[in-house]
Structure 1
Amino acid sequence: MSGDDRSNPYRRHRFAVDIGERPPLGFTAVRGLSVRVEVGEEAAAADGTNRTNQSDDPWWDFGDWFDQYRDALPSAERRRTRSPDLELSRGVTDDDRLWDWVQDWVAGTTKPRDVHVVLLDEAGDPARGWRCRAAVPVEWTGPELVADRSGVATETIELAHEGIEPIADVQGLFDRLWGETDGDGRRWG
């Protein structure tokens, strides 16, 4: 193993999110980093064909099981993936940029954005990253206000997107997005 290989998992509480805003917004939770490959009946339903392998052979005659299974799968060109909406949560502040993004999308004055999620290691350096392509806001949820419980007021934005892909040069992306400084010389991120 080289010195860069890692066998222990990364902690999940250290991450950075870029939604194309400067300075970057801080988020307390990210949900929806998931990809599902539709196969068999799911893919058949999605493309309108019946690709299940039905046979009159008795149940105990397995024949060439692998070929039967392989034939039931859609071809590589017809396989589909889907991902759930991405949910980003943060504490409510005086910053209205999430609300403004939703309103701009409704008004048709903004375009879809790539959203970047970067997992950080213990030293705060980027370890892994994912890009959600062409994200658009589909729901904004404000804080739950309850008089008899204390806690932080949070807001959540839900984003539909065209898919998730890994970021190959996560260090380069991190340096480009979060390596900038504000007007006082402080590093963002």
Structure 2
Amino acid sequence: MSADAQALSAHHFSLKIDGRSLGLFTQCTGLALAVEVDVVTDGGFNDAPVYLPTRITYPPLVVSRPVSRESPKWCRWVQETVRQRRPLTGEITCMGVGNERVATWELLDVMPVAWRGPALDARGGGVAMEEIEFVHGGFLPQAGSPGRPASA
């Protein structure tokens, strides 16, 4: 296996909400954005529409990991956090081999919206997983990460 392939297979993610570590996760989906556009056709020019950006949307962010003794605590944390109804900030860090930071994104206006425990099936041989789902108002890469230059 090449060094690049080995590094990619060893990635994991840490998540902090308002500075509090939620621990390490083995999977993260939804770290994305999409630009919605209005399509305008210019009168007389039928070959090239004009695209006008209208808004940026962010899908929910879902992190997952194997169930642990801490899992019930995170289920309660989601419930308590939603009841507080205050804006939160978050930080998700992708880490590679040796726990070195590969990239970090700051999340804005974070709110947990779901905690999902494992599907309990005594016949299965898979790993029991938990998921925490968040909505957010956007993200900014940290200084030194791809997409944002290091601070001067």
Please indicate the TM-score interval, normalised by the length of the shorter structure.
Answer: 0.7 to 0.9
Task: List runs of 5+ in structure 1 lacking aligned partners.
Answer: 1-7, 42-51, 171-189
For residue 8 of structure 2, give the secondary structure of its aligned residue in structure 1.
Answer: coil
Larger strand proportion of the pair: 2
Counterpart of 2:148 in structure 1 is none
Task: List runs of 5+ in structure 2 lacking aligned partners.
Answer: 146-152
Q: 1:166 to 1:113 in 2, by over 3 A?
A: same
Counterpart of 1:118 in structure 2 is 93
Q: Say which one has the larger Rg.
A: 1
Residue 135 (structure 1) shift: 1.0
> How far apart in 1 are the matches of 2:86 and 2:59?
20
Per-residue displacement from partner, 1:109-156 (whole Å, max 9, x unpaired)?
353322211122434221211112121111221111112112221111
**Equivalence map 1:33-112=2 (5 Å):** 33-41=31-39, 52-53=40-41, 55=43, 62=47, 65=48, 69=49, 72-74=50-52, 79-95=54-70, 96-106=72-82, 108-109=83-84, 111-112=86-87
Counterpart of 1:179 in structure 2 is none
Larger helix proportion of the pair: 1
After TM superposition, the runs of 4+ consecutive aligned structure 1 residues lying more than 3 A away are 20-24, 54-57
Match among 24, 27, 30 for residue 25 of structure 2: 27
Normalised by the length of structure 1, the TM-score is 0.61
Residues matched between the structures, number = 139
Counterpart of 2:130 in structure 1 is 155
Normalised by the length of structure 2, the TM-score is 0.74
> How far apart in 2 are the matches of 1:128 and 1:23?
17
Residue 21 (structure 1) shift: 6.4
1:133 paired to 2:108: yes
Counterpart of 1:173 in structure 2 is none
> How far apart in 2 are the matches of 1:162 and 1:156?
20
Q: 1:21 to 1:153 in 2, by over 3 A?
A: farther
